[in-house]
Amino acid sequence: MAAVHRRIRRNRRYRMALPAPRVFRDRKDPLALDENELFERYRFRRASILFLHDEIRENLERDTHRNMALSPILSILLCLRFLATGATHLLIGDSLNISRNAAGREIRTVTSLIIRVFRRFIAFPVGEIAYKVMEGFRRIAETCSRSSQ
C-alpha cells in the first residue's frame, strides 16, 4: 500500500514539473470585414482606422522576434473595440484571440498614444463657444423629452 502512495506522489511531482503547452491562436486579418461590419464593431470607417494607424504605428511597432507579437493594427482595433463597446478586457481579448492581460496593456498603451498624438485635433470648447455647445445639448434634451411624453 505504501508503494502505491509513493508512486502517486512521484507522478504528481513529475506532472507539476512539466512546462505548460504553448497555445498559438489564429488572428485573421481584422480589416477583411466589409465597411458596415467594420463600423458596427469598431465605430470607425476603414479610412479613419488607417489614418489612426499611420499616425501612431511607429510607436506601436515592437522590436521582438517572438512568433505572436501583436501588430500595430490589431492593437488599435483592440482599443477601438473596447472604447466602442465598453466591454471588459476579457471579452474584448476573447473576441480577437488575445489574453486578458495583453488586452489591458494594449488598451492602455494605444489610448495614451491617441491622447498624446492627437492633442492638436481634440480640444474642449472654452468661453462663448462652450456656452453655445451646452445650449445646443440642452435643446436636444428638451426635444427628446417632449417627444417621449
> Could you list the pLDDT tens digit for every one of the 149 residues in the chain?
566 556 666 666 555 666 667 665 556 677 888 899 889 889 999 999 999 999 999 888 877 766 667 888 989 999 999 999 888 888 888 888 888 898 999 999 999 999 998 888 888 888 999 999 999 999 999 888 877 76
29: DSSP letter: -
The set of cell numbers assigned to 48 is 479613419
What number of CA atoms fall less than 13 Å from residue 81's CA on the CB side? Answer: 24
CA 46, chain centre distance (Å):
16
Residue closest to 31 by CA, chosen among 13, 6, 14, 53: 53
